Structure 1
Amino acid sequence: MIPTTSRKEGLHRGALPGSPAIKQAGLRLTPSGHLVFEPENPAIEPAVAARLAQAFAHGSGPGLLQLSAAEVVPDLPLALGWWRSFGQRYITVLRLQTTEQAYIVKSNSQPSVPSPDEAELTTLVLTAPIMPGAEFLTQDILRTLWSEIDRALIEELETRQIDLQSYLHALNPTWNLLGRVHFNLAENKGDPEAPFAFMATYTTRLSAQAKVQHLPLGQALREYAGAANRRQLLSLLMPVQRAAESCAWLKPMIEGGEIYHPLRWTPGEAARFLASAAELEAAGIVLRMPANWQTNRPTRPRVSAVIGSVAPSKLGLDGLMDFQMEVSLDGEALSPGEIERLLAGTEQLVLLRGKWVEVDRARLERVMARFREAETLAAKGSLDFAEAMRLLAGVDESEAAEVADQEWSQVRAGLWLEETLQTLRSPGSLTEDTPPGLRGTLRPYQKAGVQWLRLLSALRLGACLADDMGLGKTIQVLALLLAEKSRRAVRQPSILVAPASLLANWSGEIDRFAPDLRARIVHSSTSSATEIKTFTAEDAAAFDLVITSYGTLLRLPALTEILWRFAILDEAQAIKNPAAKQTRAAKALRAEARIALTGTPVENALGDLWSIFDFINPGLLGNARKFARYTKSLANQRQNPYGPLRDLVRPYILRRMKTDKAIIADLPDKIEMNAHCLLSRKQAALYSEAVGDLARSLEEAEGMARRGLVLASLVRLKQICNHPAHWLNDGNWDEAGSGKFRRLREIAEAVAARQDKMLVFTQFREMVAPLAALLASVFGRDGLELHGGTPVRQRRTLVQRFQEDEEVPFFVLSLKAGGTGLTLTAASHVVHFDRWWNPAVEAQATDRAFRIGQKSNVLVHKFICRGTVEERIDAMIEAKQSLSTELLSGENELDLTEMDDSALIDLVSLDINAVVED
């Protein structure tokens, strides 16, 4: 175990998991490039987890050093295994460049361990597994982590005053090798009976030309003769002994002494050697193959095919595709006779066209059978688009299929399919004119997104728009619907399903960006129970868009009988559980094209990915059972295990992030958006009662008494909009009682998934603690609080913690206490939970997060309860309606106390349609 007494306390303090996906991984990469270990992983032994938690608590370097050099656990979760492999690259380079002499690191000196080159780092980034924080992985971060391992090793050697060899031996005896044993295979063309030669060698030192010097392994018996050298000899031969435990053919060679002499080998013996390559390398033996064998393997025949040379006969997943196959060797087609010869023999190595060819007949025949079946289907006009895409991505979910089959086959896209996929995979090249009726300007990446959606829908294919929060998924969908409306002579309605808490948001965005779009909300907040139950296809035909909630869809099966142009799911993670009733109801919708909207990456959990794709493109990923078996087989693949799956789903997922260089240059520094919230029934009842009390009291109030009454009533209404407990003071802060609480949870869940930080401002001190409690339940750990009662001397400490500690996810502040004198640029999200109704005060609070030095865009969420005074005053401010000068104070704050009674009651009255109960 790496000692901890010599290090200062780091930033990582045994972080608790923030989401189920993180629990499954054990290790996550933060946006700033630090690795955080999550100890609550049932797949890791408690003792191993404790050691790793202690090491990573002191930084990424010590953690990776412990993981890669000391932990020899064979079965680690995929993410931990990948990071261990990365760390072991460092140890391997370090060990190979040291001599057999003891290597002591003295103060201010360090091992010279160059980081991998750019090409190798790029490969590592591209082949990283699906894991939390994978989107932040870059070559620079890997290079930095490499240096941190180096610094951690220096500190360990200085602290222990120990040489490198002894240190590595203490951590893991595998590293204590005095030399490396090499197994060498060469062609021996002059011997037709034994056309291969084998020799075992070992390396002892570098030559004058700085190349590894090889000696026959038998020489080691003489070099290390005598009792004094017995330990070195055993250390050298340890990998050979270890390899013999898994390679039965090697043990008699050792016992008979053949391993120490050059050997003549038949093709069968050479093939046996090739088949054991993985076990030999795992034991620590270096393999050297004939120089003309690329990638250390003989050439292999490959079953290749071209698919989609011409446009399909019809659109959609059941569109019919063309398919032509051949068997080739090094890119040249084999004749039927040569194919028959390859399949007829029994040897795994066959001499063909003057070169040795490796043949795995079972795999070759399996792939050929599948391709011939596809060719037959294409000839009959029965090869559909979904199967063609699976073939192209190398996805085979059949019982007999193996991941290794991909090494024996290749499918290329033909001209039409290649051009189509290239367009889908690179939507940045697409352009789209602003559709008629859109009141707003589409940014370039949004225009590309609209065109991408149009292209997929024109092909009758589903799409998952997974843009980061704040990038405008809503306006892209509205632009798509407006473009579709202008294109069609006859209206065909679309349906949008969203969480009940977001229905008000969609209504507000339609009013703002697409007022010409005829939309109808089918929900208890806008319609009576009778109107909902009697809603028919004829009713839907009068609208461009029908909006409903997941709960209403579940109770109104008539919606699944209508043929919609688009079926759109907002917050599509709502259908990630395929067994849920609302998931089955959503998947029962009939539509020409389906769209899923989500701000969280769909790659984090493979089962969730399947469920979303089962909605947008049913059948593309097969059924759930086959998909689970297929993804399990992918996990056993050593390099880029999920590459085929990524290739299959990539054309149908558009994921842009605010950190993308092509996006961030196109964004404003601050993105302000209204978060519309609906009232609960209890809030609506309290609000109506408050308005009635105000109306009755105004009949008798005059002068200063009237002014005080109005101000007190406005505060009461604000408190009710926040939460019933805020007004009643009964301590019952349940989430179901407040539409704002439910909306805050949804936003915070997205922020937590991105590992971002957020500020939450409230006008009221008594709201700070309940809001912090809610956010702690979302993030899985506590944040910070600041209000008027916080001692001034503590404020600087709180700000410093929020700025510097990555594990502090949120900061809740009362608006006056947090509005001045603070710089909180670590936050990329700002929430105004209740409104001050003075734009200058809110802007001042927002600018705590947006200041010089801010490196990321700030997303500002302004909470507004629909149908209340909050919505009406926001509209007055946003539209800059002309107010008489007596209604504006010198500070540009609305002075509502001078309104006449009728206007004031109209302003605060409740639109009963804001009540929502799903």
Structure 2
Amino acid sequence: MTPPSAATPSDIAELSRCTAVFLPGDPARTGRVAFWRPDGATPSGPATGSTEELTVAVPADGTDDGPHDGLTGPGPTSPGPTGPGVETHTVRALVLPLGEALPVLTRARARAAQSGPGQCDPATAFWGAAAVLALQLAARGRLLPGLSATDHDAWRVGPLTPDDLTRVRELAAAMPPTAHATPLPVSGPVLLPEPERHLRAFLDAVADGLPRSPAAALASGGPAFAAPAPRRLPEQRAWAADVAAGHDAGVRLSIRIELLHGVGGNGKADGPRFRAVLQLHSLSDPALVADAADVWAGTSPITPALGPRARMDALLTLRRAARAWAPLTPLLSAAVPDALDLADEEVTELLGSAAGALDAAGVQVHWPRELARGLTARAVIGPDGEDETDETQDDAGPRFPAFLSADALLRFSWRFAVGDQELTRAELDGLAEASRPVVRLRDQWVLLDPEAARRVRDRQDRKLTPADALGAVLTGRTEADGTDVEVRATGWLEALRDHLADPEGTAGAQRAPVPQPSALAATLRDYQLRGLDWLVRMTSIGLGGCLADDMGLGKTITLIALHLHRMGIPEASGPTLVVCPTSLMGNWRREIERFAPGTPVRRYHGSARSLDNLDDGEFVLTTYGTMRLDAQRLAEAGPWGMVVADEAQHVKNPFSATARQLRTIGAKARVALSGTPIENNLSELWAILDWTTPGVLGTHGAFRRRYAQAVESGSDPEAAVRLAKLVRPFLLRRRKSDPGIAPELPPKTETDRAVALTKEQAGLYEAVVREILAEISGTGGLVRRGLIVKLLTGLKQICNHPAQYLKEDRPVVPGRSGKLELLDELLDTILAEGASVLVFTQYVQMARILEGHLAARGVPAQLLHGGTPVARREEMVRRFQDGEVPVFLLSLKAAGTGLNLTRAGHVVHYDRWWNPAVEAQATDRAYRIGQTQPVQVHRIIAEGTVEDRIAAMLTRKRELADAVLGSGEGALTELTDSELAELVELRGTER
């Protein structure tokens, strides 16, 4: 299409007050729009337009009402001067090619909508609305290739939906008389274009021009249907007819299958025969339907509603349908294409792929209501043996087989039904052996594909592992031979499903809850007792689970209580191995000694570590690093009564060496503890639960395909529902904000504190942006991603302090960072109140700068980071909790989990991490059970920088339900150059 018009605002204002009329062309894209003034003056406009004389039919009095009605009438054309007060005139008009006229028309319509009808001629406003409709149809891909009346290549709008047709007809009905006031080029009386046909010509003209761009020929492989210049293609007439078949029809076809009963030569009733009857439906009103025989005979009362082209439209659609299913071909040569008798094999085809092919061609198949259709399958999963249903029960509830035992295979069998009637095996055999697609069963005719019935009948019962079976019955669906089928549980598996459906046992179950162990030197809260009860139920039947309570709600004491409970059960007893981050080993030991006095506990860590003489009731504490090195020794030291993964997000990558080695250590029960089971994506949840209960979520690939991709993208809301059903029994999560969980917790206030950069920071920031953006431009792949990470890291360091980015050995610290100045002010206020504070930064180097700066100011402070020895960490925690050191500087990764630092009434995040869940964990070092004072959280943000945009991103992430599904820094490496420049641009914040 011709490039857009360069019409100026004054041109558009002038042409808006002119009367516009569409002048069709062949091919359609050569159509033009003429603008003329009722006063006879010559319009002005873009220089690309041409001034021509134009004959128009107008009311004699020059008005737009009354006499104009004489210009229109019924039928494809309308008489002109025969109406009273109507006459033809020759006017001077500005004629624009359609491509240049489109922006003028659309802007004129917008002008009329904004400024009122007086600012735009009704005809021009009408063609503006028509232009918008044409562009909307093209944007939806409603374009069809074909040939014009002179065999030129041409696009047109189509196929149109019933809603599209309604819009076209309503718009055509609103066409002002002057919008189609150019007489048709015929001899005799003056005739004007019929409104709907004239509007369709305009829509086709727009559609014909839009796909023709300079690059279109390269994409299509040739100039046909791509270049603006017309090309005659008479040899493509047959192809064009095939494309048009059915698409331009005003009717839709369907096939009604009739069931015919006859009597054979022996006087007995034969089996039923089938007949296909052709039906026509109105496209504008699908409720209007008639048999083809009645339409051809002209006896159907709805024939006028189908339009004068109903027969031709039906034949075009039938031709298209016959290409999809050959048995319809004889109808094309019939005098009346009304019906045909069907052979059994043709009925079978319609039961299979033929119905889908016809539906794709726009023809639906309707079967008789008296036929029972379709064989439905349902999978039944249960114990291997019809009578194996363990309904025994004690005070703790129903008892189940050891679920993860190797011999606990379950039978997977099929149940088949026709309608709502389940079939016996004998009845299924009868359907499978039938020679016809219709069989008499239970006093009704059943329609089915015998071959499909044979395939169903021949499926052998198969065995499932307990984990696969449980996953199927929890969701109620499974895949079998590539088909999604309903699942029903039987026997103890059914009881187990109901048992697991209520993780906290709050649904009125009759069994007694598990009491608190007498050896526990503490009183568990109600929600902790429910958590203990859940863990006991899961581990007693060989299942694992993830206790995912918020930080500070007492996961450690709940696990200690579980250990004490299992010590009294011979089949569950054995030492408990706790794998945790190095920084938490001391906390675990103190908690065990405090709440389970007398329980042996050892550290399996350091050069002198040993597993000799393990006691059944002993706790063994080790780190993820030691476990990875000594996995074989730990596995051989078993059998472990229980293995616990604390802060289990450390094994969120299932392919890491740590995760793989952890899986090699066998145990009677596996429990994961994590406040954030999902930090970035659902694969992390799979990794944790596939360790606690192997196989219950399926393979990693199947999990990504069936659940994770759909949930993370939001493309399938039902996938999230199915996943919730599957995960809920294995993951117990309570939040501090949940009713009744921690009502005694004091309030927490979170504040974002914006600071301006210093001149030095602003200069560095802009220089780094210019330099690295120049490097990034033109790069791709890993190189580009690496440069983006380098850019983001550098900018965040500059926002912290220039000395951090410049890596100065002996920096001059004061006066160079807006953040540092605000931190000094905050600390002065906090210390004056006698309070204590935690200061988190993700950079150890920045923490060291702060440590030196505070020492120079005489502020008592201490620094904990990843290299701090375990004994030193524990001493630092004690000193802070005892009030000896009021300022605790902490590395976010090293100290963001596990520590109990309730002495702090303030938490400062000096810089921002990409994941709000990680920041929340760090805050929970202070805001946890045992905290008695209000907690103030201060997040320092460099205003107008990348940190500002990160803060907005984190706010959006926190709004996601339950977990973070973004990909943090990784997602930013995929930004385009312009998006990246916008992200890092410094926006006027220098002081």
> TM-score w.r.t. structure 2 length?
0.46
More strand by share: 2
> Rg larger in 1 or in 2?
2
> TM-score w.r.t. structure 1 length?
0.49
More helix by share: 1
Say which structure, 1 or 2, has more relative contact order (CA 8 Å, 6+ apart).
1
